[in-house]
Amino acid sequence: MPVARAFEERLTPLLPELAATYGTPFHIYDEAGIASTHTELAAAFGGIPFRQFFAVKALPTPAILEVLVRAGSGLDCSSPAELELATRAGAHGRDVMFTSNNTTLSEYRLAVNAGAYVTFDDIRILEHVDVLPDVVSFRMGASVFQSARDAENPMSDGGRSKFGIPVHAIKEAYSVARDRGGSRFGIHGMPIANVLDVDRFVAVATRLIGIAAELRDELGIAFEYVNLGGGIGIPYRTGDRAFPVRTFAAAVMDELRAAFPTDLPTIFMECGRYVTGPHGVLVTRISNCLVKETPTVGVDASMSALLRTGMYRNAYHHISSPLADSRPLVAVDVVGSLCENNDYFGVDRELPDPQEGDILLIHDTGAHGHSMGFTYNGRLRPGELMLTRSGEVVEIRRPEVFDDYTATVLWRPRTVLP
Ligand SMILES: Cc1ncc(COP(=O)(O)O)c(C=O)c1O
């Protein structure tokens, strides 16, 4: 979607100087927008105990995590490196959620020792675990939430999921935990990502709350929290409607009160995309107006800076040319420099008659953007900037250089087996 108006109004006048002095490409994020979206999400659930844990994987840059921690967010981690990052960003103990999958015992212990909430993604690890966490939580497998419409979602797993406990095993998982002395419980469910259909998300939340209530009744256990995961979508396309988070929260609160009239669990969420996605853009410059079968412009960023359009069928990022608005529109493909045929940011995009040197904005790169980047072809990841509340632009991650590209290389091989 077009970048938020407040961000656009503050960013556009800065672009010529920023591009000239800092150079392109770079991602830039809006501090005020990120903090206020977090606050609005938490406020929507104001009637009940609620906590949002930002999914670190979406934007694992310390300055952004610190903005969120200061705004009251917890952090959701999925690996030891993310746990360490969360600690360094100021999140400790119960400010941290650990929702991993295919987890090793040492990773599990690290999270428990950090005092984090831990979500078990599989029942097998229970056999290896010596000490249970004080609150035991399992992730529900996705099949129980599946809807025919999910097949259209670019991130759909097509009905085969590596995540969570299959529905036939969920009761056993909780009873094993209870028999091993577990007395405090949570439950997690996140079937799909980037959901804009509020009815669909309410149906998922209702199903999860219902499963928790059934487990309570059948096993005589109490739930301290229901974790709805992440997955709230953002309107990447201009015609998309924003997710009505207040309507969603109101429906979830009604379902929760109906299912748990006397012992209301806390609602947790682990949203990433919804919180930071719309508050970031990738700023890139047209390096070449190419001569191809179809009109094509090459920019100085590649899929290595934003994988989504190359990776997911149907993934879309709006592209604009804010400093050339007055020119007539021309439809072009926008490509990077990777030796890969999916290195496209957009196909048939109408832009003001593109010229070499024009600055383009690729929108909604605030989540799963830079963090999914890579260095294939030696096309190194760009830097990250933040537009602060006061209007200052600060660098929060520098662009990679050749020494980063080769940082793990042993120029002189080290003997491993003589
Ligand atoms: C377990 C878990 N929680 C939260 C998220 C965040 O999802 P989103 O950024 O779509 O809200 C993800 C995304 O992959 C996830 O796997």
Closest residue by Cα to atom 10, ligand 1, is 231
> Which of 38, 54, 57 has the most ligand 1 atoms within 8 A of CB, as the residue to mutate?
57
The torsion angles phi and psi of 214, rounded to 5 degrees, stand at: -65, -45
Residue type, 164: G
**Residue 24 near residue 357, CB atoms below 8 Å:** no
Q: How far apart are CA 201 and CA 285, in angstroms?
A: 38
| Location of structure tokens 């609620």 | 50
Report, as ranges of residue numbers, the positions in the chain whose pLDDT lies below 50: 154
Cα 344–chain centre separation: 21
Q: Which residues line ligand 1 (CB under 6 A)?
A: 55, 58, 76, 99, 190, 193-194, 229-232, 270-274, 367
Distance from the CA of 344 to the center of ligand 1, in angstroms? 24
- Torsion sign (Cα): 128, 133, 136, 139: negative
Closest residue by Cα to atom 5, ligand 1, is 230
> Which of 75, 155, 188, 190 has the most ligand 1 atoms within 8 A of CB, as the residue to mutate?
190
Output the pTM of the full model. 0.96
Name the 3-class secondary structure at 376: helix
The torsion angles phi and psi of 45, rounded to 5 degrees, stand at: -95, 25
Closest residue by Cα to atom 1, ligand 1, is 99
Residue 159 confidence (pLDDT): 61
How many other C-beta atoms can be found within 10 angstroms of the C-beta atom of residue 295? 15
- How close are the terminal C-alpha atoms of the chain, in Å? 57
Distance from the CA of 163 to the center of ligand 1, in angstroms? 12
**Residue 287 near residue 356, CB atoms below 8 Å:** yes
Q: How far apart are CA 375 and CA 406, in angstroms?
A: 10
Q: What is the pLDDT of residues 76-127, one digit of tens each?
A: 999 999 999 999 999 999 999 999 999 999 999 999 999 999 999 999 988 8
The number of the ligand 1 atom at minimal distance from the alpha carbon of 119 is 1
Q: What angle do CA 264, 268, 269 make, to 5 degrees?
A: 145
Supply 215's token pair: 């487990």
Residue 158 confidence (pLDDT): 56
Residue 325 confidence (pLDDT): 83
Cα 229–chain centre separation: 11
Q: How far apart are CA 195 and CA 153, in angstroms?
A: 8
Supply 190's token pair: 């996140």
The number of the ligand 1 atom at minimal distance from the alpha carbon of 273 is 9
Q: How far apart are CA 48 and CA 267, in angstroms?
A: 8
Q: How far apart are CA 319 and CA 334, in angstroms?
A: 9
Q: What is the pLDDT of residues 1-32, one digit of tens each?
A: 567 788 989 999 999 999 999 999 999 999 99
| Location of structure tokens 């490509």 | 335
The number of the ligand 1 atom at minimal distance from the alpha carbon of 58 is 9
Residue 150 confidence (pLDDT): 58
Distance from the CA of 272 to the center of ligand 1, in angstroms? 6
Distance from the CA of 269 to the center of ligand 1, in angstroms? 9
Closest residue by Cα to atom 4, ligand 1, is 230
Nearest Cα residue to 68 out of 79, 58, 53, 80: 53
Nearest Cα residue to 136 out of 76, 180, 177: 177
Closest residue by Cα to atom 13, ligand 1, is 230
The number of the ligand 1 atom at minimal distance from the alpha carbon of 101 is 1
Q: How far apart are CA 147 and CA 278, in angstroms?
A: 27
Burial class of residue 399 (count of CB atoms within 10 Å of its CB; 0-12, 13-18, 19+): middle
Q: How far apart are CA 65 and CA 59, in angstroms?
A: 8
Distance from the CA of 353 to the center of ligand 1, in angstroms? 38
